[in-house]
Amino acid sequence: MLKNKTPRQIAIRAGLSLGVANIISLFLLMGAMSFEFKWWIFPVFFLLSSAISYYVILIYLDKYIYRKIKLIYKTIHNQKVSTDIKREGVDMDQPIIEEVEQEVAEWATEQQAQLEQYERFAEYRRRYVGDISHELKTPIFNIQGYLHTLLEGGYHDESVSLSFLKKAAKNVERLQTIVEDLSAISRLESGDLILDYEEFDIKALAQEVIEEMDLKSRDAGITLTFKPGADLGFLVRADRESIRQVLVNLVTNSIKYGNAGGATKFGFYDMESYILCEVADDGIGIPEKHLPHVFDRFYRVDKSRSRQKGGSGLGLAIVKHIMEAHQQTINVRSTPGLGSTFGITLAKA
């Protein structure tokens, strides 16, 4: 009945009700005491009692509502009630209770969302620490084993000592790669990476990456080249060195999961305001269930093969962060046995 009413409306209704009650009480009292009835007494008494009741109720509502609002605001806000509220009190012509109720409900929803986000962050941190520990444990354990073998007399055999030192050095390089990639991830997530935008030819950059990765691809028996129709270059605007790292990581990934005698090819496509750059291979491919997770940290589709080939397990995660820093997209499509294609978009210069 009084839902969504203002304090003033509540006071008016209550005042009129008390006025009517007082008139009935006066009528009964005068009848019981045999007083002489005079008609003008009743309207005057009604108006007077209603007015007094109205102002008394309004004052009490003001005090009551103000105290409750102050308590609520202390609860849901990490600050004092504003000086305007302290000075002016509550607007008697506004349904203040409903407004505060709505604000509290919104605050509760926000708090629940924050709690759920904190829980996700906590779970993410636990998983992240576990992943780091797992990735670091293998090379550290290997290095420890090689060194203990040498200390226990293996260094007397020159062939054994040389072999073990080479293996220990390889694991040290892997540790260094993991640490450097973790540092890169940290810079990207904290926003410390400052992008130096410039205009450059994406095909020319891809050619530089091909030349840079030539020795590694030859050792794996994989050819690096361009797709038919990718003869023309496109000018894009981005951080050239960051995009170089993206292409290097994608090519490295294609070599790692490619097949001997296969090929990794670059393709470029004009998409009006953007250029789509694709790196496609004909390797082992990625099962569909793994596709949503390929950009997660330390996620490995083929754990034995990826560790055998080296790497930190952070390459694609770094790629994703770099593209997000550019406010661009990266996608992947793949078919087991046929290969994978990774595509990034870049703003056209």
User: Average pLDDT of 159-180?
Assistant: 80
| Ramachandran angles phi, psi of 322, nearest 5° | -65, -45
User: Average pLDDT of 259-273?
Assistant: 91
Instruction: State whether residue 338 is helix, strand or coil.
Output: coil
- 274-281, strands of its sheet edge to edge: 223-226, 263-271, 274-281, 339-347, 330-335
The two structure tokens encoding residue 25: 């009480």
| Domain ranges, ordered by start, for the chain | 7-94, 123-190, 197-347
The two structure tokens encoding residue 17: 């009700």
> What is the average pLDDT value for the chain, to the nearest integer?
77
Q: What is the pLDDT of residues 232-247, one digit of tens each?
A: 888 999 999 889 989 9
Helices 240-256, 202-212: crossing angle, 10 deg rounding: 50
The two structure tokens encoding residue 108: 């509760």
pLDDT given at position 31: 60
Confidence of residue 80 (pLDDT cuts 50, 70, 90): very low
The two structure tokens encoding residue 77: 């806000």
Position with higher pLDDT, 57 vs 232: 232
- The residue ranges of DSSP E strands in 202-307, in sequence order, are 223-226, 235-239, 263-271, 274-281
Is the pLDDT at 64 greater than 80? The verdict is no
* Matching CATH number, 123-190, of 3.40.640.10, 1.10.287.130, 1.10.1040.10, 3.30.1330.10: 1.10.287.130
pLDDT given at position 106: 78
pLDDT given at position 29: 62
Q: What is the pLDDT of residues 273-317, one digit of tens each?
A: 899 999 999 988 888 888 888 887 777 666 554 555 555 677 888
Q: In the chain, what percentage of residues exceed pLDDT 70?
A: 66
Residue with tokens 């209770």: 97
Query: CA-to-CA distance for 290 and 106, rounded, in angstroms?
Result: 38
Confidence of residue 272 (pLDDT cuts 50, 70, 90): confident
Query: CA-to-CA distance for 56 and 28, rounded, in angstroms?
Result: 25
Q: What is the pLDDT of residues 118-167, one digit of tens each?
A: 777 776 667 666 666 767 777 788 888 888 888 887 677 777 778 888 88
CATH class of 197-347: alpha beta
Q: What is the pLDDT of residues 7-41, one digit of tens each?
A: 667 767 776 777 677 666 666 666 666 666 666 66
pLDDT given at position 174: 77
Of 49-63, 108-122, 244-258, the one with minimum mean pLDDT is 49-63
Exposure string for 75-111, b = 16+ CB within 10 A, e = fewer: eeeeeeeeeeeeeeebebeebbbeebeeeeeeeeeee
pLDDT given at position 27: 65
Is the pLDDT at 328 greater than 80? The verdict is yes
pLDDT given at position 177: 74
pLDDT given at position 222: 93
Helices 41-76, 96-151: crossing angle, 10 deg rounding: 10
348 secondary structure, DSSP code? B
Q: What is the pLDDT of residues 38-50, one digit of tens each?
A: 666 667 667 777 7
pLDDT given at position 197: 92
pLDDT given at position 71: 65
The two structure tokens encoding residue 61: 């509502």
pLDDT given at position 114: 80
pLDDT given at position 111: 78
From 320, 326, 327, 331, select the one nearest 277 (Cα to Cα). Answer: 331
pLDDT given at position 86: 44
